[in-house]
Amino acid sequence: MKRYFIALFILLSPTVNAVDFDSIFEGKYIWGHEVHSFTPCGSNLSYWVSFDWAGQSMQDFYKTNFKTPYQPMYLKFRGHLLDEKVDGFAEQYDGLIRISEVKGYSFEQPIDCH
């Protein structure tokens, strides 16, 4: 009976977590009224951004240091695309992207990120 519960526990335990699906992204982050977007370097796709504590210090930096509304900020992070139905302002984007860990950010755009 004990083996049965151990086997059941192993089968029901999540063996893969979100970190296993994460990639490193670099691009332009924009925050503003009704805008919370990320466009990867070299891409025309734009994603609605989702994060919890992982992106809070980055967003606080943006809010206190931007010079013009909707100013693009370079952002490098570990995260993944989400396959979720979106509504509201997020519907206007190519998808939803989740930030798991911020690696760096700056209002100075790297020359090779356009």
17-47 burial code (b ≥16 CB/10 A, e <16): eeeeebeebbbbbbbeeeebbbbbeeeeebb
- Output the pTM of the full model: 0.77
Domain segments of the chain as ranges:
17-106
Q: What is the pLDDT of residues 61-84, one digit of tens each?
A: 999 999 999 999 999 999 999 887
**Of residues 8 and 17, more confidently modeled:** 17
Structurally, what CATH architecture does the domain formed by 17-106 represent?
Answer: Beta Barrel (2.40)
What the block records as the tokens of 77 is 């992070």
Q: What is the pLDDT of residues 9-20, one digit of tens each?
A: 444 444 444 445
Per the listing, tokens 């992070």 go with: 77
